[in-house]
Structure 1
Amino acid sequence: MSAPVRVLVLTLGLALGTGVLPSAACAADAESIRLFDSELGKRATALLERAVRHIEQTGEKGAADFSRQAAFVDRDLYAYAVRMDGRFLASGGSSAALIGDNVLDYTDIEGKAFFREMIELAKAKGSGQVEYRWFNPADSRGEPKVTMFRKVGEIVVAVGFYPPRATPVQARAMLKDAVKAMTADVKGALAQFQRLDGPFVHDDLYVFVIDTADGRFLAHGATPALVGSNGFEVRDPNGKPVGTEMVRLAAKKGEGELDYSWRNPTTGKIEKKHSYFRTVDGKLVGVGYFQR
């Protein structure tokens, strides 16, 4: 009798967390909920479920259907399958070029052996998540991609996605709306900025507010745990005093811009960020976008 087929199924997701203060880690659960509730998250989850059921019903031989059946492709999302020994079995996307290869030592554009990492995590924990940079056909460059997994057997069935990124135009538009909201009702606006399901949190865009007198965070859409902490003490990973610099620049003209490094809530990575900010009645209101 042949050995039973065991399946490892990768699910959609990502490692999250924002900011550079230790307390920022507690924002991960809220960010994860926000991502899964997004249109992209729901599509990917639905696709994953179809792929999982198919492998559970058909075993390893059914993985080939990922390469030829439309049911396992949803616009820019697709399912792919890898054996636990590293052999790439099938894909409904650009990774179909890997079919038949052993990908244990295959690396992304930063040299990360992400296939090996996900298999090792599956063996050790049965489930987990990996992040890597993959060629994005939409813009012809390597972009952060996210995949989560759970162990069901001897095959890796995956659905990954590129976390959405905001543009400078979107950041400036959100700042304009945030300033308008602060001018109309400060208390109400600060509460709105904290709502993950509200109009001021969208993909990697969010509003932050700092009291220019004492440096306290009054709102932070990505990391609510920062509220009440001293923004003057915040430094990016390169040592730049982000809060202090923003307040100093804004004191000159009532507005400004600043480049620094910060954790992207949709990729979980430290990335370059460009923020726009304005002062409203002694409060600095800011919105930034993450640069590619």
Structure 2
Amino acid sequence: MMFRHILALVLMLSTLVSFSASVGAEEQDSVHAQELLARAIAYYKEKGDIALATFSRQSEFITKDLYVYVLSADGLMLASGGSSSVLIDRSVADMKDASGKSFFREMLDTAKAQGRGQIEYRWVNRQNGKIERKIAYFERVGEKILAVGYYLPHGTSAQAEALVERAALAVQADPAKAFRDFNDLNGSYIEDDLYVFVIGLDDARFRAHGALPRLVGTSADLLRDAQGKEFIPTMRDKLRKTDKAQIIYPWKNTVTGKVLIKHTYLRKVGSYLIGVGYYEN
């Protein structure tokens, strides 16, 4: 009995450490992005437009998925060390991100009015080829706007809730087609680190799993959370008398590999449990 309590304590502490490390990593990405921007600004002030070529090639201004890009005051892409390099010499003032947001226009207007700022948008991460949330810090230097952004792979609560509602409608319309769509790793039901899973309420078997399609047909009740606890029976119990519920548990993020606290929205459609979870920051 004592050994089981000690094991549970160790698992809990391990989860908390992993959670803290992941949050710390995101804070570090923010700091590194701001540091890179500060270095780029200093370099540009020293070298002038000669610096634009340096920013666009493999150099000390490109580190992993962090890079510098530069816009003219009227929205011409002048330099980029990342995926936006294909836009160099093109006007991006009215270009929209993957969600339809005119983020370059907002950046230009803010830089003109305030000199600096930050903006969130959705952009292709060339490390994995996926569209992810990104935050960019930017500052105006003369007639140029220098920017550095970092990726936020975590989906939001609003995204998760919207996705589970969309998934529920799809299951109502055509369950078989919906399950195929949910299992498509390149489909429209994968957003950042959000995905849809479906479990039979009667037999507890997976009908779909957007992150691990190989689980389809297996018993969901065999799963344990990051602390070794059963949680699928709790999900099923919550939907016995209602069509909507929520549950919180520690789980490994499929994108970052870190253990985080996951908050999952549940919906019941017929004899199916539909879930989409997001990781708390």
Greater relative contact order, per chain length (Cα 8 Å cut-off, separation 6+): 1
TM-score by length of 1: 0.48
TM-score by length of 2: 0.49
